Amino acid sequence: MLNLVALAISGSLLMLAPTRAAAEEPVDVELVIAVDVSWSMDYGELDIQRNGYVAAFRSPELHEAIADGVHGRVAVTYVEWAGEMSQSVVLPWTLIDGKEAAEAFAYRLSNAAPDRLRRTSISSAIDFAANLFDGNGFEGMRRVVDVSGDGPNNQGRPVTDARDAAIARGITINGLPLMTQGDERQGAWGSIRDLDRYYSDCVIGGPGAFMIPVNDWEQFPEVVRRKLVLELAGLWPLRQPETAGVLKAAADGGAANCLIGERQWQERWQQ
């Protein structure tokens, strides 16, 4: 009788094992691309941003970076965000295991029209992105959130709280600060002059975290391609950012005020 029970239990376990393996496909990286679509950018800039990612996924360098990984495949999802309640999954989790899959991802992305939404909540974007890893069907050697934005957090909980919570879950946050508004608008309401420093001190974190500022929209396609190649390459985060040509915030000056966006918003409504 005991032998029959043991056989029944072991049989049940064997039935469960393939289900779990099939539900968690191993990949080198699980990557959430979280893209700012707030009202501070016009539709032309949103198109440049979207087309930059499309071009990156069509580039041979990106295909090679994926192929060089331990598993030779990654999982990617593309999210647009703005205010505290404004996050949208444009493309769901997608397995990319070669040129064909990467170009198919790019094609689908090129056919999804970007939208513009109000406010800027980097913290809510990070919280939303961090939750997307749960039950996504993949088991990555690294989990990465790639955040782009053109201003500081001005809604939701403090961005440092969201960053620290994501890091505690084993997630790395990389940044793409968009410093494209020109000298005449830098420091105006909704923007800050040292957005690169803000991203370094307040947004990015986790093993191998880095950020690359974009100072002109003409740079965007190349910067995005370079950043994604580094994130998806098999050697990251062992490869140092300097050797990959990653730009970093200037070393001079003090630490960034991680609540500057919230202060700007409060001052605006007090006026």
Flag whether 164 is in a domain: yes
DSSP state, 146? E
> Are β-strands 171-177 and 74-81 bridged in parallel, bridged antiparallel, or unpaired?
unpaired
User: Residue 180: its pLDDT value, please?
Assistant: 80
DSSP state, 252? S
User: Residue 249: its pLDDT value, please?
Assistant: 46
User: Residue 119: its pLDDT value, please?
Assistant: 75
Residues 197-228: tens digit of each pLDDT: 999 999 999 999 999 999 888 889 999 999 99
Residues 145-173: tens digit of each pLDDT: 999 998 898 888 999 999 999 999 999 99
Mean pLDDT of 118-131: 92
Exposed/middle/buried for 264, CB within 10 Å: 0-12, 13-18, 19+? Answer: middle
> What does the block give as tokens for 60?
């041979």
pTM reported for the whole predicted model: 0.83
Ramachandran area for residue 234 (φ above 0: left; ψ -120 to 50: alpha; else beta): alpha
Chain-wide mean pLDDT for the chain? 82
User: Residue 216: its pLDDT value, please?
Assistant: 87
**Residue 221: C-alpha distances to residues 51, 167, 195, 212, 246 (Å):** 8, 28, 19, 12, 14
Flag whether 42 is in a domain: yes
Amino acid type, 219: Q
User: Residue 166: its pLDDT value, please?
Assistant: 98
DSSP state, 203? I
Which of the four pLDDT bands, split at 50, 70 and 90, describes residue 17?
A: very low
Flag whether 8 is in a domain: no
Which of the four pLDDT bands, split at 50, 70 and 90, describes residue 97?
A: very high
Give the number of domains in the chain: 1
Strand partners of residue 27: 140
What's the CATH code of the domain at 103? 3.40.50.410
Residues 38-55: tens digit of each pLDDT: 877 778 888 888 999 999
- pLDDT of residue 16 exceeding 90, the answer is no
Mean pLDDT of 105-120: 81
Flag whether 1 is in a domain: no
Domain range for residue 102? 25-270
Flag whether 17 is in a domain: no
> Are β-strands 25-36 and 138-149 bridged in parallel, bridged antiparallel, or unpaired?
parallel
- pLDDT of residue 122 exceeding 70, the answer is yes
Which of the four pLDDT bands, split at 50, 70 and 90, describes residue 267?
A: low
Beta strands in the chain (DSSP E): 25-36, 74-81, 87-96, 138-149, 171-177
- pLDDT of residue 183 exceeding 70, the answer is no
| Helix (H/G/I), strand (E/B), else coil: 199 | helix
Residue partners of 143: CB distance under 8 A and separation at least 6:
29, 30, 133, 169, 170, 171, 172
Flag whether 9 is in a domain: no
